[in-house]
């Protein structure tokens, strides 16, 4: 079994894959960009793809919603993982020696408070956290540091000089496991939907009311602009499903009210 992830060995995606498939035999297919993960799935190069979808500090990774939609991918699992970011360097290097810090754009954003305390250090948006650490080590950069995980520091022999520098110590990232098809079994308690609505007063409120009156809890709603349709939006909704039959009836009602509705995922709720 092959799992495509964004980032290399020691990345947070790699750690998330290890947690989701603990005890299973699998091979990691590392990609530099989220797009590469989606392409690997579409081409049949892997069984699953794993991508981050949102973070409790930085918010949603909106382009990844489009990746899921445009490549007709399905969510079959999720994981909420606590994230700790550490500043790592070649052993012996001090923060006063640094003129650059490398990391993934989302990691840099999650550590903005710390970075703002060091305005003279330039932030370099790199492919991912683990490869940032690898670059520091392989190129023996004494003027640069990397932001990444403890695993990455250990893997590449770097010294952590500032631990846990994320802006909020309760920092979580939601990872979703992607497949080309929805599972056949009924072993799920969470569903992800995508739909658009007619441009009418109260259309969204009417949809949300259906979930409420039938006792279903929404854990997320995300709006996205529709390309080539200015000021028109589609909505991504996650719902906890405790009764499959009752939810099927709600879905029948919603299909009469919404446009272009699609089930994007069926999976077990990955509670915090």
CB 3 within 8 A of CB 29: yes
- Tell me, yes or no, whether 10 and 79 share the same domain: yes
Does residue 104 contact residue 132 with C-beta atoms inside 8 Å?
yes
Q: Can you give the CATH number for the domain in which 116 is found?
A: 3.40.190.10
Distance CA 29, CA 21 (A): 14
Residue 227: domain span: 191-263
Say yes or no: 108 and 130 in one domain. yes
Report yes or no on 272 lying in a domain.
no
269 belongs to a structural domain: no
Same domain for 203 and 130, yes or no, is no
Residue 186 lies in a domain: no
- Local confidence pLDDT in tens for the 272 residues of the chain: 999 999 988 999 999 999 999 878 899 999 999 999 999 999 999 999 999 999 998 899 999 999 999 999 999 999 999 999 999 999 999 999 999 999 999 999 999 999 999 999 999 999 999 999 999 999 999 999 999 999 999 999 999 999 999 999 899 999 999 999 998 888 899 999 999 988 788 889 999 999 999 999 999 999 998 888 787 889 999 999 999 999 999 999 999 999 889 999 999 998 75
Domain match, 58 and 94 both: no
Domain final position from 150, 179, 208: 179
How many domains does one find in the chain? 3
Distance CA 142, CA 56 (A): 32
Q: Are strands 144-148 and 100-103 parallel, antiparallel or unpaired?
A: parallel
Asked whether residue 14 falls in the same domain as residue 59, the answer is: yes
In a domain, 198, yes or no: yes
Within 72-139, residue ranges assigned H as helices are: 105-110, 112-116, 129-138
**CA–CA separation, 101 vs 107, rounded Å?**
11
pLDDT recorded at residue 48? 98
**Does some domain include residue 271?**
no
């Amino acid at each position: 079994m092959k799992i495509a992830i964004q980032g290399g060995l020691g990345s947070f995606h790699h750690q998330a894959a290890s947690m989701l498939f603990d005890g299973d035999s699998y091979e990691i297919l590392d990609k530099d960009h989220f797009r590469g993960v989606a392409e690997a799935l579409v081409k049949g190069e892997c069984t699953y793809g794993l991508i981050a979808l949102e973070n409790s500090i930085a918010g949603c990774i909106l382009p990844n919603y489009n990746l899921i939609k445009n490549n007709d991918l399905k969510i079959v699992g999720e994981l909420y993982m606590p994230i700790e970011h550490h500043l790592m360097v070649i052993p012996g290097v001090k923060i006063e020696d640094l003129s650059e810090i490398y990391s993934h754009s989302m990691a840099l954003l999650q550590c903005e408070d710390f970075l703002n305390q060091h305005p003279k250090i330039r932030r370099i948006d790199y492919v991912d956290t683990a490869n940032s650490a690898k670059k520091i080590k392989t190129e023996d950069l004494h003027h640069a540091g990397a932001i990444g995980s403890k695993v990455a520091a250990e893997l590449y022999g770097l010294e952590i000089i500032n631990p846990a520098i994320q802006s909020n110590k309760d920092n979580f990232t939601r990872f979703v496991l992607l497949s080309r098809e929805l599972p056949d079994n009924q072993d799920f308690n969470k569903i992800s939907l995508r739909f658009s609505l007619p441009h009418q007063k109260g259309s969204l409120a009417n949809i949300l009311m259906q979930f409420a009156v039938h006792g279903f809890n929404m854990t997320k709603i995300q709006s996205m602009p529709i390309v080539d349709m200015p000021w028109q939006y589609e909505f991504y909704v996650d719902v906890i499903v405790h009764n499959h039959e009752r939810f099927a009836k709600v879905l029948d009602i919603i299909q009469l009210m919404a446009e272009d509705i699609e089930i994007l995922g069926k999976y077990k709720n990955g509670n915090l």
